Structure 1
Amino acid sequence: MTIMDRVLTAGFRHNSKRLTKFDGLTPSETLPPPDTSRTYMLYLHIPFCVVLCPFCSFHRVCFKEDKAVKYFNSLRQEIRMAHEAGYRFGDIYVGGGTPTVMPRELAETLELVRKLSPIDSISVETNPDDLTPETMQIVRDAGVTRLSVGVQSLDNDLLKQMDRYEKYGSAENVMAGLERANGFFETLNADMIFNLPHQTDESLLRDVDLITRELEITQTTFYPLMSAESTMRKMLKMMGEVDFNREGHMYRLILDALPSNYTPSSAWCFNHKGDTTDEYVIENEEYLGLGSGSLSYLDGMLYSSTFSLNHYNRQIAAGKFGISRQQALTPRDRLRYFMLMNLFGLSLDKKVAEAKYPGFFRKLAPEILGLKIMGAVRDEGDKLVLTRYGMRVWILIMREFFMAVSDFRDLMRHAIKEELDAPGPLQIRVPTPELRPPGAY
């Protein structure tokens, strides 16, 4: 890791932790009333997994069928409540956990949203063992246009260290599943991880070659290893120590090894002969998250739903949303967030930025000047474009941002008892549509 990398990492880490602090239990009486002239991105969280991977810090619990059925029923009710409150959705992203752990329950949930809103696209995460003809048919019939498969690595030794080999199969089995799924959906994405402990340059380059040249998969995403402090301790025991000094070197290996017919749509996502997007936060600045453990960003506020499944189910049964914490972004933070996510998608349109936030470039002049001096962005007149070096910088930024979110998830897991013991019910309601002024935010 270079001196510049260390300086940037320290700065991004401090700012990311500040943005994801969420001090104390702060239930919200309302959510911002929706703009009825537009649609929103809907994020749905399915927290169940059969195997809890040691590197994963997302909100997930061990799968039990009875708990999952009850949870899906609550989630569908929360979807109806959001609809009654006036929210309409254009796109859906389903994360976890493993959303396909009960494919028919997932399908019923997606079909409900499609009945209520004009959905254009649906992206769903899954694991390699769910790439069966039956499951793929069920989710495709439910409208899924993008399936993202958590592959992580095609090195059998690394799969064993990650405790994935026995459950999800060997690299050869995973490859066979990807081959079956390739072409079955509009977009098939393979999620890969780089900078794993004991991952060699040769192993990483082989992953790139197998995914892009042998399979020619629609889309692949190479994430840097990132986790919460608690999972770092678990990883140290099961997988070994993470060496962040190798991260920049490995990222450059990936960029150099990718075939010319793969083009980036973000700093870590690459598409085969097409232009699809991997992260819902790039094209949708605001989004509503439903389900236990989901996050929302609406009208300058970050919201987090409870991580307690029992609390979540009780809230929904009482006609209340699951949100238990909120945090306001400062006006400057809102501008920075907008710039962060747009440049993560490789470019920032100047007219769009100024139209949404008048004075945008004047207010963020120091930050933009710094990026230009570093060589992270270049000015093409009508837009700012991320350079190759800028892509590396954005890998650092997003790694620190998601690690801060992961640390927040740890705090939320520890706060489950606090939420259950809170005096009085958590009153989290969305204003009914008839109480909103036309076009109000």
Structure 2
Amino acid sequence: MQNGAVHVRKIISGIDIGSDSIKFIVGEIFEGRLHVLSASKFRNSGIERGKVVDEDAAVDSIKKAIEDAREVLSVDIDKCILGLNMINARIAKSENSIKIENESHMITGQAISTLMTRAVDGKIPQDFVLAGVIPIEFVLDENKIVERPIGMKSENLKMRSLVVALPRDYVSVMLDLVNKSGLKVIDVVPNAVGDYYAFKNHSLDEQSGAIINLGNEATTISIFDKGELENTSMFPLGGKNIVKDISYLAKIGDREAYAVYKDIVLANSRLANPNEYRIVVDLNGEKIKINQFDISEVASSRIDEILNLVKKQINVLTKREISYIIVTGGLTELRDFKLSLERAFGKNANLGKLNVLGARDNSYSSAIGIIQFFEKKLDLKGKGYSIFNDSEIVNMTNSYNERDLDNNSLLSKVFGYFFDN
């Protein structure tokens, strides 16, 4: 849409297609930070264990998330960044060099694009497709290491990077779902990279650690060394297993179990109230009481199992000394999850805390992070991008100006700030 403009508005959307829900974020990168304009989340019953079991249901959930964002922003949305799970991912290191042959030896965005293209050569296994090139560092003449070489002078430029590849069939199915919902995918980003960028700071970039995403059907463990994705793995346990446990032990249907899970379950039974209960109908058609303490004991046991498996998997994935463990994902939104995390890891792990106005829920971490990574990749090339053109931004601004918003309300402040500057 607008590429290469000096003052382009950097408004970008990202979508994370989970088995439990669709997360859709539209945000603007302003002065180096992401400001969320809309955050939408809708239940998704069309995907199980990374496979589409009901295409119509999955597409319908995506459309609902898009429509919700459209209603908030009063503008059509037809492009997005797609986050992809690290299912059977292949990660390869790459190192490539080029000569800067222009007369001034000035490094351009085109030079960096050329290096990214060359990084892929010979790195994609058969039946896999490219899911991302992740620059690690650039090396100029005299072995000078820089993060952003554009505009600098050097006769030679080297790039160390990681090339992430995912199974062709999986990527094709995800792209097809998004396309059928009416969105055009402008780039794909591994969700593990998104999770890192959602919490990225200078301290993390200097240390080795792990980012853990506890999802609905799967848990993903990703090991990073100074911002470099070193290893990743997944195992099939998550929030859905707690729902199944409740269903089995209470002898109630999955829908009733999910309602109980959302309503009264705590991640740790320490503060659970045995006198708080819900009445549900079991599989025999009889009304039964489910109290918070007993059902939270069930959830706590399953969460302990998951976190203990995470600890073991970290030791398998890396022999480095771990300086940080950040835990994110939808399961961490269960009340009192921090108590379970402390019981499993002591003070060695931290619950992820998104520092983004408008999307504090950890289930949004991947969708937020893929936008931030995409913007950084464009910045390396000296480019800007927006999913909206100038007239659409004007229409969006006018729409909010026409509404009867209190000038002191948060919404009026947010949109006044974004669109009047």
- Comparing both structures, which one devotes a greater share of its residues to strand? 2
TM-score bracket for this pair, using the shorter chain length = under 0.3
Structure with the larger RCO, 1 or 2 (CA within 8 Å, 6+ apart): 1
TM-score, normalised on structure 2?
Answer: 0.27
TM-score, normalised on structure 1?
Answer: 0.26
Structure 1 or 2, whichever has the larger Rg, is 2
